[in-house]
Homo-oligomer: A and B are copies of this chain.
Amino acid sequence: MALIVQKYGGTSMGSPERIRNVARRVARWKAQGHQLVVVVSAMSGETNRLIALAKDVSPRPDSRELDVIVSTGEQVTIALLAMALKDLGLEAKSYTGGQVKVLTDSTFTKARILDIDSDNVRRDLNAGTIVIVAGFQGVDQDGNITTLGRGGSDTSGVALAAALKADECQIYTDVDGVYTTDPRIVPEARKLDRITFEEMLEMASLGSKVLQIRSVEFAGKYKVKLRVLSSFEEEGQETMGTLITFEEDSKMEQPIISGIAFNRDEAKLTVLGVPDRPGVAYQILGAIADANIDVDMIIQNVGHDGTTDFSFTVPRGEFERAKKILEEKVSPHVGARAVEGDSKICKVSAVRVGMRSHPGVASKMFRVLAEEGINIKMISTSKIKISVVVDEKYLELAVRVLHKAFDLDQAAA
């Protein structure tokens, strides 16, 4: 018997029929003798409907009051699921964030969880009751209702699993796991049975939208075993999704690369001929940070003739604004020769924990891309990934050839 926290998103809870389906799935796990805590999102579309209603009354709604309204979305689904479970003859009880209680700070609309008092939940679990908890919401220390921001239900699930020391936190979604790359680009992409947290973080931050990155970080911090599964698999056809683990897989045989991630939402900026002296990087990026623009890759090569070139990438929507800042504020100030930019790029990354122990990965990656005539514009590496920036038009080709070159279309040994 295990204690399992399951989280179902808005699509899984999107209609009365789907809610009854979730109830049947929960009932099957319960029938196996497990203790179950189920965290749910609002019905898909409901949060947007509530925000639109608020804006109909007040164009810029007060954030405390907005949370009071938006939190009703999950308050409805917890009760609907509890009803559906009772109709299956099971004991079930719904909890709002405040009833659990999930204590957060007072940053309305994007609060952070501080603590979870799980005594009530534990009492119900010990009595055999299935506990349904509203995701995405909590209360601050003054009892004000707060919400965690978009995707916060994943975080609620992980935080509850941590507080309850659950054996596993299962995130049900509309995909059946984490893939070696996007199957829409490479039909041969395979589902990974397991992936490490670090790889998952890279896959998520690099553009795989399976899990909220914040919930993965949270799981890593509290060592919560996380599993991504599909809520749309039929009874008897269920797979075990992808397990997200803490340690490098100990299996002897394993592919040297776990997956190929990519991100189209990148634009590249280069400040040419900046004086090669301490403080220049800060002068350039400080101005960008002050404008609240996220920076992803940063590259500065060795200089020559006392100057160097400094490149970085930003989200594509911020490209024009960042370029203007460089041209007007930074370049004259640091004495740069010119500012160049390119918004038609993308980033492609090979991800794998332990990649360092395979020194051939980088050179193989570069060779494969070169054989296809794909020019590499930037290179960045970390302990678990190698990223290259290439022309956007090569994205699909690059992902496909790398996926094949690293044998990701072959089942693991």
Interface, chain A (partner B; CB < 8 A)? 16, 19-20, 50, 53-54, 56-58, 61-62, 64-66, 68-69, 71-72, 75-76, 78-80, 82-84, 86-87, 93-94, 96, 98-99, 143, 145
What is the CB-to-nearest-CB distance from A64 to chain B, in angstroms, rounded to a whole number?
A: 8
A175–B145 CA distance with the chains assembled, in angstroms: 35
Whether the Cβ atoms of A80 and B69 lie closer than 8 Å is yes
What is the CB-to-nearest-CB distance from A25 to chain B, in angstroms, rounded to a whole number?
A: 15
How many copies of this chain does the complex contain?
2
List of B residues within 8 angstroms of A76 by Cβ: 50, 53, 68-69, 72
List of B residues within 8 angstroms of A78 by Cβ: 68
Whether the Cβ atoms of A54 and B68 lie closer than 8 Å is no
A80 CB contact (under 8 Å) in B57, B86, B143: B57
A58–B84 CA distance with the chains assembled, in angstroms: 6
Whether the Cβ atoms of A16 and B56 lie closer than 8 Å is yes
**Nearest opposing residue in chain B for A120, CB measure:** B143
A58 CB contact (under 8 Å) in B57, B58, B64, B86: B86
A79–B145 CA distance with the chains assembled, in angstroms: 11
Whether the Cβ atoms of A62 and B82 lie closer than 8 Å is yes
A68 CB contact (under 8 Å) in B50, B58, B65, B94: B94
A83 CB contact (under 8 Å) in B57, B87, B99, B143: B57
What is the CB-to-nearest-CB distance from A361 to chain B, in angstroms, rounded to a whole number?
A: 51
List of B residues within 8 angstroms of A72 by Cβ: 72, 75-76
A22–B69 CA distance with the chains assembled, in angstroms: 18
A-B contacts, 21 of them at CB < 8 A, read A16-B56, A53-B76, A53-B80, A54-B83, A57-B80, A57-B83, A61-B83, A64-B93, A65-B79, A65-B80, A65-B82, A65-B83, A66-B79, A66-B83, A68-B75, A68-B79, A68-B94, A69-B75, A69-B76, A72-B72, A72-B76
Closest 4 CB pairs of A and B: A72-B72, A68-B79, A58-B83, A65-B79
List of B residues within 8 angstroms of A57 by Cβ: 16, 19-20, 80, 83-84
Mostly helix, strand, loop or mixed at chain A's interface?
helix
List of B residues within 8 angstroms of A71 by Cβ: 75
A54–B93 CA distance with the chains assembled, in angstroms: 15
A354–B266 CA distance with the chains assembled, in angstroms: 84
**Nearest opposing residue in chain B for A63, CB measure:** B83
Whether the Cβ atoms of A96 and B84 lie closer than 8 Å is no
Whether the Cβ atoms of A79 and B99 lie closer than 8 Å is no
**Nearest opposing residue in chain B for A139, CB measure:** B99
What is the CB-to-nearest-CB distance from A217 to chain B, in angstroms, rounded to a whole number?
A: 31
List 18 extra interface pairs beyond A20-B57, A68-B79, CB under 8 A: A16-B53, A16-B56, A19-B57, A53-B76, A53-B80, A54-B79, A58-B84, A58-B86, A58-B87, A62-B83, A64-B93, A65-B80, A68-B75, A68-B78, A68-B96, A69-B75, A71-B75, A72-B75
**Nearest opposing residue in chain B for A70, CB measure:** B79
What is the CB-to-nearest-CB distance from A105 to chain B, in angstroms, rounded to a whole number?
A: 18
What is the CB-to-nearest-CB distance from A41 to chain B, in angstroms, rounded to a whole number?
A: 15
List of B residues within 8 angstroms of A143 by Cβ: 99
What is the CB-to-nearest-CB distance from A363 to chain B, in angstroms, rounded to a whole number?
A: 58
What is the CB-to-nearest-CB distance from A353 to chain B, in angstroms, rounded to a whole number?
A: 43
Whether the Cβ atoms of A62 and B86 lie closer than 8 Å is yes
Also in contact, A54 and B82, with CB within 8 A (given A72-B75, A75-B68): no
Whether the Cβ atoms of A80 and B62 lie closer than 8 Å is no
List of B residues within 8 angstroms of A58 by Cβ: 80, 83-84, 86-87
**Nearest opposing residue in chain B for A66, CB measure:** B79
Choose among A68, A69, A76, A79 the residue with the greatest number of B CB atoms under 10 Å from its CB.
Answer: A79
